[in-house]
Structure 1
Amino acid sequence: MATDGFTTCLWYDGQAEEAANFYVSVFKNSSIGKVARYPEGAFQPAGSVMTVEFTANGQKFLALNGGPQFKFTEATSFMIFCGNQEEIDYYWAKLTEGGGEPGPCGWLKDRFGLSWQVVPDTLDAMVTDPDPAKAARVTKAFMEMSKFDIAALEKAYVG
């Protein structure tokens, strides 16, 4: 794993390898790297996966099987900016499959409990429009959504 930039470490309770393989299957420009295993005498069974290096969508991650002490919360999420409804639908379906949970305003949790925001790449421009009425209409519209509907947001934007 390269030493430049940042690597996000994700803590799992025995699911690190499964999670890494899942994320690599969802995102383009993704791959599995080195896998480290626990040695004899560690707090996990010898030979079980300790860490998995992986890249998802060009971002570096380390999945760690650290045990049940820590869980993901919505306080940390990964944003996926999508250029069209097809992309939103794809990521929404893939990331909620197998036990994930849809949430409000484009948020969801995947089956591992990790939070994601699946967002149209035009949303920022809409909610920061100098016309406060446009921004307010879009904000009101997305606050009522679970998965974002780009056509409905655009309709709200134009009034």
Structure 2
Amino acid sequence: MARNTICLWYDKDAEAAARFYAEIFPDSAVSEVFHAPTDFPSGKAGEVLTVTFTVLGIPCLGLNGGPMFKQTEAFSFQIATEDQEETDRYWNAIVGNGGQESACGWCKDRWGVSWQITPRVLTEALAAGGDEGRRAFTAMLDMGKIDVAAIEAARRG
């Protein structure tokens, strides 16, 4: 087990979520599925209790903890993309499989986990600062999924 692992609380679908992430993102996999040895507060003996997986190389543990706690935007995966094609692929996979669009490159998957699908051109523009950063930031504020061409145009002024 990794020394530092992100633990994500799911109602009951940790394995389905982990397998979905492993299908979408490179350097992602489901490594182990643990079944409960006895009944537990939100399930029965033999049901999936935890799933260990990676998302883009980040070690995670999915816990089927029941409906007590919900996902919020206070935690999100930020995925840096190289171009519009990659941005579209991840965004469409998440939103198109029961997810929900949000603003400024954010979306949620069907389990409520938040994702920031962020093209590198946007983070580079913001890092540049000044008028270039301000123009790119202003353009981003009107977007759901980030439009790479619009960000590049805003950078140029």
Map residues 20-99 of structure 1 onto 2, 5 A cutoff: 20-43=18-41, 44-99=43-98
Residue deviations 1:10-39 (CA, integer Å, cap 9, x gap)? 101110111111111111112211211112
| Native 8 Å contact 2:54 2:60 kept in 1 | yes
The residue type paired with residue 44 of structure 2 is P
**Inter-CA distance 41–86: structure 2 relative to 1 (3 Å threshold):** closer
The residue type paired with residue 156 of structure 2 is V
Deviation at 1:119, TM superposition (A): 0.6
Q: Any stretches of 5+ residues in structure 2 without a counterpart?
A: none
**Pair 1:2-2:2 in alignment:** yes
CA–CA separation in structure 2 for the residues paired with 1:128 and 1:24: 31
* SS, match of residue 136 in structure 1: helix
**Inter-CA distance 28–128: structure 2 relative to 1 (3 Å threshold):** closer
CA–CA separation in structure 2 for the residues paired with 1:129 and 1:138: 10
| Native 8 Å contact 2:78 2:118 kept in 1 | yes
| Native 8 Å contact 1:105 1:147 kept in 2 | yes
Select between 66-75 and 38-47 the one with higher mean Cα deviation.
Answer: 38-47
* SS, match of residue 11 in structure 1: strand
| Native 8 Å contact 1:49 1:65 kept in 2 | yes
**Inter-CA distance 120–49: structure 2 relative to 1 (3 Å threshold):** same
> Structure 1: which 4+ aligned runs deviate by more than 6 Å?
none
CA–CA separation in structure 1 for the residues paired with 2:58 and 2:140: 28
Normalising by structure 1, what TM-score? 0.93
| Native 8 Å contact 1:97 1:111 kept in 2 | no
Residue deviations 1:61-101 (CA, integer Å, cap 9, x gap)? 10000011100101111100001110000000111122100
Q: Any stretches of 5+ residues in structure 1 without a counterpart?
A: none
2:139 is aligned to 141
Deviation at 1:112, TM superposition (A): 0.6
CA–CA separation in structure 2 for the residues paired with 1:27 and 1:99: 17
Deviation at 1:2, TM superposition (A): 2.9
